[in-house]
Amino acid sequence: MPLTTEFRDVFKTSIDKDPEFGFEVLRGAVQALLDNDLSTGRSVLRNYVNATIGFKQLAGVTGIQEKSLMRMLSAKGNPVASNLFAVIHALQNFNGAKLEVEVSPTTQVRRNFSNILEK
């Protein structure tokens, strides 16, 4: 479903006015990818690119064709990891953000890992 111009304008204005909001949008997109919600992660990244760097400039920075970037961040996109991480890296650099990974194992993961070690 295509975004309305109004949503794009409001989203861009929100990011322009409040860089912290923009950082949270980027963080949320990457978190969605890590949570295996790939469609949401790609969609949020696409909106974020439109509101910040734009696909033309992102293509110049990443060396990935503009149309390929648009496809890979579409709802049915299927980017390879190297391209996806190149996009995330470029977005961090462009916006002066630094994403960090925090590991906090869930109780279920610890339980499953303990069961494996006991066998």
Domain count, the chain: 1
For the entire predicted model, the pTM comes to 0.81
Q: Which domain holds residue 34?
A: 5-118
DSSP 8-state secondary structure symbol assigned to residue 99 = -
pLDDT tens, 73-104? 998 899 999 999 999 999 999 988 899 988 87
Between residues 69 and 3, which one has the greater pLDDT? 69
Listed residue (92, 94, 42) closest to 69, CA to CA:
42
Tell me the C-alpha distance between 58 and 107, whole Å. Answer: 40
